[in-house]
Amino acid sequence: MPVHTGGLLLLVDGTAGLLTVAALGIALLLFLIIKVRLQPFVALLAVSIAVGLAAGLSVTELFGTVQKSAATSVVEAGMGGILGHVAIIIGLGTMLGAILEVSGGAQVLSSRLLGLFGERRAPLAMGLTGLIFGIPVFFDVGIFVLAPIVYAAAKRSGRSVLLYAMPLLAGLSMTHAFLPPHPGPVAAAGLLHVSLGWVILMGVAVGVPAVLAAWGYAAWIGERLFVPVPEDMLEAAEQARAEVARERGGESEAPVALSTVLAVIGTPLVLILAATFSSIALEPSTLRSVVEFFGNPFVALTIALVLAYYVLGVRRGWTRGSLESVSTRSLKPVGNILLVVGAGGVFGAVLKAGGVAQALSDTFNGIGLPVIVLAYLIALVLRVAQGSATVAIVTTAGIVLPLVEHGDHSQAFLALVIMAISAGSIFASHVNDGGFWIVSTYFGISERDTLKSWTVLESVLSVAGFAVAAGLSLVV
C-alpha cells in the first residue's frame, strides 16, 4: 500500500517492497562499480541515498536541515558513527607500519627467519615473514617492501618464484583479512560493536589454521608451476636500494634488532588482549581500570607508535623531520579507505532507518540458515562481483547487523561472524581486484598462471577460514 513519509509518496508494499529496494540497491551498487567504474565511495553514497528515498526516508531525515537542530541526520550518524571508531585506529596503525617499513624491519625479520629455517625451508620463512610483518602493514605495502626478498631467494635457488611468493602472500592476506588494525576487521568491529580484543583472539584462532591450509596449497603449486624471477623487477629493486644508499651518503643505519621489531609489533596486541581478558577475569577495580585504559586500542596503538618513533627512529639517528615526513606520507593512501568505510557506515544506517534491515533480518531468519553462513555467503558474492574486499565487508556488515543486534550473542560469537565476513571478502581474487594485478605484475606471473596460483590460494584461505569460524561458532 502507498506509504507517505516526509512529503514523499512511495509504493512500498511491506516486507516484499523493502526487500525489492534492498535487491535493487545492491544491484545498482554492483552496476556503478563494475560497469560505470564509479569510485566505490561515490557509488556507496549514491546507492545509500537512493535506497533511503525508496524506503520512505525523507530528505530531512537523510540530510537534516540547513538550520541544524539537535537531531543528527541518518547520513551524518552513519558516517560519523563508524569513522569515530575506525579512523584513529587505521591512522595510527598506518603510521606504525610505515616506520617499520622504512626502518628496514622487514628485511631484518626475513633475514633472521631465512637464517633460522635454512634454504630448504625458505618458503616457510617467507610465509612467516608475511604473517608477522603483515600485522601492522597494508597488503600492497607488504608486497612492495618484501618482493625484492622473494626475488633474491628464488634467484639463489633457481626454483619457481611462486614457491616463495605464495606463502608470503598468504601470510599478508591472512593478517589483512582477519586482524586489526587493518581496515576490514576494524570496520566490521565498529559496525557490529565488537571489542577489538575479541577480534584479535578470533582472528588468530581462525587465521592460523586458514593460513596453514593456504601454505599447503602454496607448496603444491610452487612445485608444479614454474615462474622465473622477473629480471626487470629485480633490477628495479637493486636500483632503489642503491638510491637509498646514495641519499644516506653511503652511510648505513645501525641494524634493527629482531627483538625490537617483534616488540613494536606485539605491544599493541598484548595491551589490547590484556584489557579484553581483564574484563573477564577481574572484578571492577583500580587495576582493571588501569589495564583497560592502556588496552584501549587508541591508547595501545599510540604507545606502540611512540615506541617505534624512539627505538626505530630517534635512537638510530632519525631527525624529527624524518619521522614527521614518513608519518605524513604514509597517511596519503588512507583517505580513500576511510571514505569507503564511512560510506559503508552510511549504507548500514540507511538500511536500518528505512526498515530495510529489519525486512532483511526477518527474511533471512525465515530461510533458516545460521547467521554465520549468511554472512559468509553475502560477503563472498559481493567480493566476487565487484572485487573490493573493503566494500564487501562494510556492505555485508550493514546487512548482517539487524540479524545479530537484538540477539543474545556473546562478543566471541560476534567476532566469529566478523571472521566469516572477512573470509568471504577474500574469496577468488580475480581480474576485477586490484590485488590480482599487483601480484601478477610484481612477481612476473601471467594472468593465466595468476588465476591458477593466487586466485586459488585466496579461495583456499577463504574457505578454510570460514570452516574454522563456523566450527568455533558451535562451541562459543
CA distances from 387 to 45, 381, 437 (A): 18, 10, 12
Bond from prior residue into 181 cis (ω within 30 degrees of 0) = yes
How far, in Å, are 78, 175, 277, 352, 363 from residue 28 at the CA level? 20, 31, 43, 19, 21
pLDDT in tens, 74-98: 888 889 888 887 899 999 998 998 8
Q: How far apart are CA 133 and CA 145, in angstroms?
A: 10
Task: Give the span between the Cα atoms of 78 and 412, in whole angstroms.
Answer: 25
For residues 299-314, give the mean pLDDT: 93
**What integer pLDDT is reported at residue 58 of this predicted model?**
87
Q: Is 368 helix (H, G, I), strand (E, B) or coil?
A: coil
* Per-residue confidence (pLDDT) for residue 144, from 0 to 100: 84
Which grid coordinates belong to 327?
A: 608519518
The pLDDT score that the predictor gives to residue 416 is 98
pLDDT for 8 equals 43
pLDDT at 293 > cutoff 90: yes
The pLDDT tens digits of the residues spanning 400-442 come to 988 888 778 999 999 999 999 999 999 999 988 889 999 998 8
Q: How large is the average pLDDT for residues 352-372?
A: 82
Q: How far apart are CA 347 and CA 45, in angstroms?
A: 7
Task: Give the pLDDT confidence score for residue 336 in this predicted structure.
Answer: 84
pLDDT digits 0-9 by tens, 112-149:
888 888 888 999 999 999 999 999 988 988 898 888 88
Is residue 5's pLDDT more than 50?
Answer: no
Does residue 236 have a pLDDT over 80? no
SS3 35: coil
> What DSSP string describes 95-149?
HHHHHHHHTTHHHHHHHHHHHHHTTTTHHHHHHHHHHHHTTTS-HHHHHHHHHHH
Q: What is the pLDDT of residue 192?
A: 93
- pLDDT tier at 42, thresholds 50, 70, 90: very high
Of the chain, the percentage scoring pLDDT greater than 90 comes to 46
Confidence of residue 233 (pLDDT cuts 50, 70, 90): low
